[in-house]
Amino acid sequence: MTAIEHLVTSGTFSLDGETFDVDNNVWIIGDDSQVIVIDPAHDVDAIAEAVGSREVKAILLTHGHDDHVGVVRDFAHRVGNPPVYLNPDDYVLWDMTYDSYRPDGEISDGDTWNVAGIRLKALHTPGHSPGSTCFFVETGLPAPVSAGAGRAVGPVLFSGDTLFSGGPGATGRSHSSFETIIESIRDVLFELPEATVVLTGHGDSTSIGAERPALEDWIKRGY
């Protein structure tokens, strides 16, 4: 059965000369034989153990901040060097972590990946970072989700750091824009069905229907 598996890993996030402790959500989508991993963060051993002997078809990155990409090279090597994908607009952030290593593939809006009978579609949602990307699954995920969302029956959105329970991702640091993230949320994510379960890069899950009514409040408060 196709399922979504959820891990929380702990580490740090560094940018603009500051470092913070963070917990990241890692998402594994697939079945008993093959998976796609979204944002394998911090703990190579824990994520590799969760994958087990299954084939990793791809590693998809929602954006290039170091808490999301800092162990990607080591994780990819551990699980057989599957292709790593990132929107190239985020190379400016990626290159703060890696000197001579780049992802294998570039993500563009509308790109798709298939695993275990489901399709993930890339939605370019800049703002938290220039290349921030969400991954949308319209149907085909009848699976328990261990992130507080009950049963995800589709549609499902892996939102990275673009949309959280309670508001947009942070935009107070280099290479981010509040105006741009609001446009991405309003014009892209809030066009998705209200029932869409939102599986975030940090913290609790939510839904499009739960967050959409608060948009004007977020604009007024400015974050």
pLDDT, position 140: 57
Strands (E), the chain: 3-15, 18-30, 34-38, 55-60, 84-86, 105-106, 112-115, 118-124, 133-137, 143-144, 151-152, 156-160, 163-164, 167-168, 197-200, 206-207
Per-residue pLDDT of 86-100, as tens digits, reads: 999 999 999 999 999
Per-residue pLDDT of 166-202, as tens digits, reads: 999 999 999 999 999 999 999 999 999 999 999 999 9
What does the alpha-carbon distance between residue 88 and residue 100 come to, in Å, rounded to a whole number?
A: 15
Q: Tell me how many helices (H) and strands (E) the chain has.
A: 7, 16
pLDDT, position 65: 98
pLDDT, position 21: 98
The yes/no answer on whether domain 3-221 falls in CATH 3.60.15.10 is: yes
pLDDT, position 1: 73
Do residues 157 and 192 make contact, with C-beta atoms less than 8 angstroms apart?
yes
Per-residue pLDDT of 147-169, as tens digits, reads: 433 445 569 999 999 999 999 99
Q: pLDDT category, 15, cuts 50, 70, 90?
A: very high
pLDDT, position 114: 96
Share of the chain above pLDDT 70, in %: 93
Domain boundaries, the chain: 3-221
Per-residue pLDDT of 99-152, as tens digits, reads: 999 999 999 999 999 999 999 999 999 999 999 999 999 875 654 444 433 445
Q: Residue 173 CB: number of other CB atoms within 10 A?
A: 13
pLDDT, position 2: 78
Question: Residue 158: which of 75, 58, 53 has the closest Cα?
Answer: 58
pLDDT, position 139: 77
Range from 49-53, 139-143, 219-223 carrying the lowest mean pLDDT: 139-143
pLDDT, position 143: 45
